[in-house]
Copies of this chain bind each other. A is one copy, B any other.
Amino acid sequence: MRVTTTPVGYAQSKDAQLKRLRRVEGQVRGIARMVEQDQYCIEVLTQVSAATKALQAVALGLLDDHIAHCVADAVADGGPQRDFKLREASEAIARLVRS
């Protein structure tokens, strides 16, 4: 667990992201309740798709903020962090596309 001391990339959208995550948590709890109540597979699946899309929206938001701040700063600095940050962002995008 690493707690950064400099502002994180998502500092300005932190509240919005937390709100989204609370909503996704509620969606997942709701899906568990549907399964407990033996609700129809297709209706459960529809809610799983909705929660997946909501998680993707969180990820896309985090990625935008990360590129606009962390990556942009490292690129502007031009130091040794530049290539590391670019590669790290590239890997995060690939994970997201494949998940």
Contact = CB atoms under 8 A, between A and B. Distances in A.
A98 B95 contact: no
Interface of A is mostly: helix
A61 to B, nearest CB: 9
A51 B41 contact: no
A4 interface: yes
Interface of A: 1-4, 7-11, 14, 17-18, 21-22, 24-25, 28-29, 31-32, 35-46, 48-53, 55-56, 58-60, 62-68, 70-72, 75-76, 78, 82, 86, 88-90, 92-99
B2 A43 contact: yes
Nearest to A43: B2
A52 B88 contact: no
Contacts of A55: 28, 48, 51-52, 55
